[in-house]
């Protein structure tokens, strides 16, 4: 594609080429065509796009960054809500209130582990759903590439592991009556639902119950176990 053929939009201070994506845009290419050459921050947020829509930016060609764009400044009138902090932006378009800044170009885990912050600061941080922008990208937990790879699970690993396990269990109970098999399945469903609820309520969300030790290392472990799920949905 020639340089002059590129279709450009600006999002969070980054210039993206949307030429190829326009043809597959769910709302039709006309919606994007009307915004070519403009900053789409406000209109993108006003349209209440999903997380999946935000992730599309990761696959778009980056042409460059705006020289006059600052993370801590709104780029246009009425855009104060879309301010970013060190490349992190509130997923719902709100302003981030946590006073702690992290370098999202490096692994976050070591920074969280070494952070000397209060419970209130940590609680605010994990309860502000964030996405990374300038450019849009995934969160990185570890600087080491091998350790970082181990933090991710591909979708096909789940059925690859569980289909043989479930098949084996069905094979083992084939001598049982249909009624007993159904009854055991029902008991398993109810018991796991209860265990899952208690895990979330008493362990994963213990910070809401006053059961949370006031210790920065405990915060770091909680972040890795469940806090990250809310801080970066």
pLDDT in tens, 116-144: 999 999 999 999 998 887 778 889 999 99
**Domain regions of the chain by residue span:** 3-104, 145-231
CATH number of 3-104: 3.10.120.10
End-to-end CA distance of the chain: 35
Cβ proximity of 100 and 121 under 8 Å: yes
Q: What is the pLDDT of residues 29-81, one digit of tens each?
A: 788 888 888 888 888 877 777 767 777 888 888 888 776 554 444 444 444 44
pTM above 0.95, yes or no: no
Strands, E assignment, the chain: 8-11, 14-17, 61-65, 84-85, 88-90, 130-132
Tens of pLDDT, residues 83-98: 566 778 887 767 888 8
């Amino acid at each position: 594609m020639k340089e002059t053929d590129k279709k450009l939009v600006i999002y969070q201070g980054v210039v993206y080429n949307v030429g190829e994506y326009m043809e597959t845009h769910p709302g039709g290419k006309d919606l994007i065509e009307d915004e070519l050459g403009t900053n789409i921050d406000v209109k993108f947020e006003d349209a209440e796009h999903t997380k999946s829509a935000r992730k599309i930016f990761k696959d778009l060609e980056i042409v460059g960054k705006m020289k006059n764009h600052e993370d801590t400044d709104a780029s246009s009138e009425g855009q104060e809500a879309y301010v970013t902090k060190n490349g992190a932006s509130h997923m719902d378009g709100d302003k981030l209130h946590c006073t702690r800044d992290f370098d999202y170009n490096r692994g976050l885990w070591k920074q969280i582990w070494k952070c000397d912050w209060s419970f209130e600061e940590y609680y605010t941080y994990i309860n502000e759903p964030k996405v990374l922008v300038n450019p849009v990208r995934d969160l990185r937990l570890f600087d080491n590439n091998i350790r970082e790879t181990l933090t991710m699970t591909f979708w096909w690993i789940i059925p690859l592991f569980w289909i043989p396990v479930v098949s084996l269990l069905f094979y083992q109970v084939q001598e049982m009556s249909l009624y007993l098999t159904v009854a055991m399945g029902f008991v398993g469903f109810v018991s796991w639902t209860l265990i899952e609820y208690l895990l979330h309520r008493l362990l994963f969300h213990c910070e809401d119950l006053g059961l949370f030790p006031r210790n920065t290392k405990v915060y770091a472990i909680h972040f890795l176990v469940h806090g990250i799920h809310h801080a970066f949905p």
